[in-house]
Amino acid sequence: MAIPAVLHRRLRAAVAGLCLLGASSLASAESLHLVTEAWPPLVDQQDGRPSGPLWSVTEAVFERMGYDSQLVFVPWKRALDLVARNRADAVVGAGKTKDRVRLFQYPDEPLANSETTLFSNRKEPVQFTDFDALAGKTIALSSGYSYTPEIWSAPGVTREEVRDIRSGLQMVALGRVDAFVANRQVGWYEANRLGLADKLTAFRQTADYRRLMADFSAPEAE
């Protein structure tokens, strides 16, 4: 299998996956400038250095291919913009969407799969059976993230964009929105860190649950 052109031509890239085969054919190490948003526990910064399983895999893959890599944490929309304007080489953890493939090149093999879920308040849980069940609800979404098209087209839904996962979870806990759509592992990690886990519940039933998937990575069920 050939190494994706995005890696050895340093073209604009959103790294949601990498090919490991054929790495020995690359020349000497070259430094790559990578960007992402902190997404603990998958990718974060500890003691001034990138950490987390997503970063460990990414770094190991690039090392095997003969590349040095430097990761900088920035807000998500800025990360995508930097790569789109050739100010950075790749985004770590960007889900593949129709809009993004017009700008970015994706390798064939994903680094991970995302499990996106609907967080709601335990006192007033959202009973999600299909997207019609969201009618009349206010749903928080992270600015710049990719979501299944039904999230945007579901009738009667008020959508409110928030700057990050922390803000979305806090709004659910305070009753300012009915639900927040987020990666399940990252959402629960942040909820525990904020002391909100006992106030939240997450939908993961019915076949329509699978249609909420669009981003990236997955823990065990609640």
Q: CA nearest 58: which of 27, 29, 92, 87?
A: 92
Res 6: pLDDT: 31
HSE-CB of 8 using CA atoms within 13 angstroms: 16
49, pLDDT greater than 70: yes
For 99-155, the pLDDT digits (tens) are 777 777 777 777 766 677 889 999 999 887 778 888 999 999 998 887 878 888 889
Res 51: pLDDT: 92
Mean pLDDT confidence for 159-180: 95
Reduce the secondary structure of 159-213 to three states and give it as a string: EEEECCHHHHHHHHHCCCCCEEEEEHHHHHHHHHHHCCHHHEEEECCCHHHHHHC
Res 149: pLDDT: 81
Q: CA nearest 93: which of 214, 190, 2, 192?
A: 214
For 181-199, the pLDDT digits (tens) are 988 889 999 999 999 999 9
Considering the chain, what is the average pLDDT of its residues?
Answer: 77
| 197 in Cβ contact with 130 (< 8 Å) | no
Least confident residue range of 78-82, 128-132, 204-208, 212-216? 212-216
Res 65: pLDDT: 77
For 57-105, the pLDDT digits (tens) are 888 888 887 888 899 999 988 988 888 888 888 888 887 777 777 777 7
Q: Alpha carbon of 125 to those of 11, 151, 221: distances in Å?
A: 45, 18, 17
Res 9: pLDDT: 32
39, pLDDT greater than 80: yes
